[in-house]
Amino acid sequence: MKKFITILLAFVVGFAMSEIVELDGVKYDNLDVKVTEDFLPLFDESHPAYYCRNMAWYGGRGAAKSWQVARGLLLRCAKEQALTLCAREFQASIADSVLKLLEEQIYLLDLQDIYNVQRNYIECVNGSAFIFKGLRRNINSIKSIEGVKYCWVEEAQTVSKESWDILVPTIRMEGSQIFATFNPYLETDPTYQRYIGSDEKPPIDDLYCRMVNYDRNPFFPEVLRKEMEWDKAHDYEKYLHVWEGKALQHLESIVFKNWKIDGHISPPDDAIIRQGADFGFKDPSCLIRAWVDDNKRCIFVDYEAYGVEVEVDDLPKLFTTVPNAKKWLITADSSRPETISYMRHRGFKIKGTKKGKKSVEEGVEFLKSYNIVVHPRCQHLIAELGLYRYKTDSVTNEVLPILEDKHNHCIDALRYALEALKFKRTAIHI
């Protein structure tokens, strides 16, 4: 006898519907799925955009874009046998993929009886499967994948034009769809042009696209609300980019133009890890982890810890989110000797930075003398690198040789981390 899965879609927008989905397996009664209006086409087959070839959701942090898409795809693949390719530009390991997010949603939806999570793929009892690929290094092998019904591109703002040009025709099954979630960076980026377009170039056809920000997420977490409110009150330009999803502009006053994002970086076995910390309460507290390859003239940054209104007692917990934070020396803001002492007594190898006249300017020039490569998980440093700028003359608009004192908490921490190199001293691994 056939059994059924019953899904009750409890739409936050003010109505609910239920549908019976035929599935050999366990019977699920009134499975409660919270859906906001912007994501209805993922769930409601009667929505006119349900079968759009292209769907995209973009905006700032805290909008639950990935959370909603993960749920929508899990429920779609429970209803029909379908192969889903979960792609991103950079995936050095399966840990960088959305597999963990999908696994969490499987348990939250109580679907673990029909989904089986393996080390590098997910399968459903009806034959559906989720596979995970990085585009930058695997794009040619992706061309050989057959039968993909759904393709979800996460962190799509980093996807290159070359990757899009190869990926799109690869998703060629009849009725196949491409979903994208992204936080815009520059209006000139290929993903921005593909889904949002410009005055000179319209977006692609057969498209459902919505801007979704934290204010449209009824489940916006309190820990992110603190960050958002700090940025809104103290760094409005960063707030617009990080939380409202506004794209950055190329400006002559931007300080750093020598950097890029790369999700494949990891320190070699012989790397000397250099860490820098900036302390605050009303201002953010942050820890940056970096290493330097002098032969390539590159600074690599692969981890950050960041928080606002972080009590001193909570700093050790925040800093240990960076792997091996206690193993390597931290050079920290010397204006907070009591905090440095506190962290030292909690097992951190930490010392104060040597500040002096023109230390900020000299430190910035040192960073500009290298190429900077940042892992996409370092979202706050990435935002600051795009926003940190020189002052401009309000009358002539001339760029002045004076640094603005904002958008610089992570950048200050990076300066501190590399202080020993700037002073040409031998860094000691304690």
Residue 287's domain is classified under what CATH number?
Answer: 3.30.420.280
β-bridge pairing 390-392 and 399-403: antiparallel
Rounded to two decimals, what is the model's pTM?
0.80
Parent domain of 115: 35-216
Q: State which of 159, 188, 216 marks the end of a domain.
A: 216
Q: What percent of the chain has pLDDT over 90?
A: 69
pLDDT of 27 higher than 70: no
- Region 179-192 average pLDDT: 94
Q: Are 284 and 393 in contact (CB under 8 A)?
A: no
- Region 411-416 average pLDDT: 97
Are 276 and 177 contained in the same domain?
no
Q: Are 81 and 264 in contact (CB under 8 A)?
A: no
pLDDT of 223 higher than 90: no
pLDDT of residue 31: 58
Instruction: Tell me if 301 is assigned to some domain.
Output: yes
Are 168 and 79 contained in the same domain?
yes
Q: Are 309 and 223 in contact (CB under 8 A)?
A: no
Helix (H) or strand (E) holding 105: helix 99-108
Q: Are 276 and 400 in contact (CB under 8 A)?
A: no
Are 202 and 265 contained in the same domain?
no
pLDDT of 390 higher than 70: yes
Long-range contacts of 186-192 (CB under 8 A, 24+ apart): 186/247, 186/248, 186/249, 186/250, 187/247, 187/249, 188/250, 189/157, 189/247, 190/159, 190/160, 190/161, 190/164, 191/156, 191/157, 191/158, 191/159, 191/164, 192/157, 192/247
